[in-house]
Amino acid sequence: MRNYSAIADFAKTLAGTFDNINQAQENPKDFARIKIFFRPLPWRIFRGPGFYSEQCYDYAPWDPYRQGIHRLVLDQNLFVMENFAFDNPRRLAGAGRNPELLDDLHSESLKRRCGCAMHFRSISPGHYVGNVEPGKSCLIPRDGKLTYLVSEVEVNQTSWISRDRGFDPENNAQVWGSEHGMLRFKKITSFSNEITNEWLELKT
């Protein structure tokens, strides 16, 4: 029951829309306005808890620059967000706002992105920090070459702070990512009402 409660608390913290409007208005030269969505997936996808994630610039809500499918599992004291690619991502563009678009998602189209899971741990009640799994093996092509992802996240019920950067595997030099510090978001919508006992039920 303790594990059940812990994963429910983490899922409710994650489920929602996050917006960095304050940061973008205070410093528009260095920070574009971005929205991040973590929308609970239909239970049938993983027969357990999962999320659809989407990141987009505020001026292009139907053209997200990042989309993901995630299975949520608890591994001892780590909340693991496994990462999956999927067919025809354009079909799901906008599902952060319009979850009915997720009706077109089927588990057989998912492909695990090895090395790209996010590992979160609780540092205080309702407060979590996360990093991409160890190993420098989450590879992302950028400008014709592969880079490895370093992702840092801090999240609670009201805010999301993150930074994603890409590094050269040969010399560990930064190739892309924020040069002006962390992105700072506020939660503007919660989807915690979708985190029900039925959604959390782990069945095989």
Separation CA 19–CA 10 (nearest Å): 19
In the chain, where are the structural domains located? 2-200
Contact 13, 157 (CB under 8 A): yes
Mean pLDDT in runs of 10 for the chain (204 residues)?
A: 82 98 96 97 95 97 95 94 94 96 92 96 96 95 93 97 96 91 97 93 59
d(CA 76, CA 127) in angstroms, rounded, equals: 17
Instruction: Give 90: exposed, middle or buried? Use CB within 10 Å, 0-12, 13-18, 19+.
Output: exposed
The reported pLDDT for the residue numbered 169 is: 95
Annotate 85-110 with three-state secondary structure. EECCHHHHCCCCCCHHHHHHCCHHHE
pTM equals: 0.93
Residue 115 Rama label (left phi>0; alpha psi -120 to 50; beta): left
Q: In b/e form, how buried is each residue of 20-57, taking b as 16+ CB within 10 angstroms?
A: beebbeeeeeebebbbbbbbbbebebbebbbbbbbbbe
Pairing of strands 145-156, 174-177: unpaired
Specify the pLDDT at position 178: 82
Query: What is the model's pLDDT at position 132?
Result: 97
The CATH architecture that domain 2-200 belongs to is Beta Barrel (2.40)
Q: Measured between alpha carbons, how far is 189 from 182 in angstroms, rounded to an integer?
A: 21
User: Which pLDDT value is given to residue 203?
Assistant: 54
Place of tokens 């992702």: 151
Round to whole Å and give the CA distance between 71 and 90: 20
pLDDT at 204: 41
Q: What is the CA radius of gyration of the chain?
A: 17
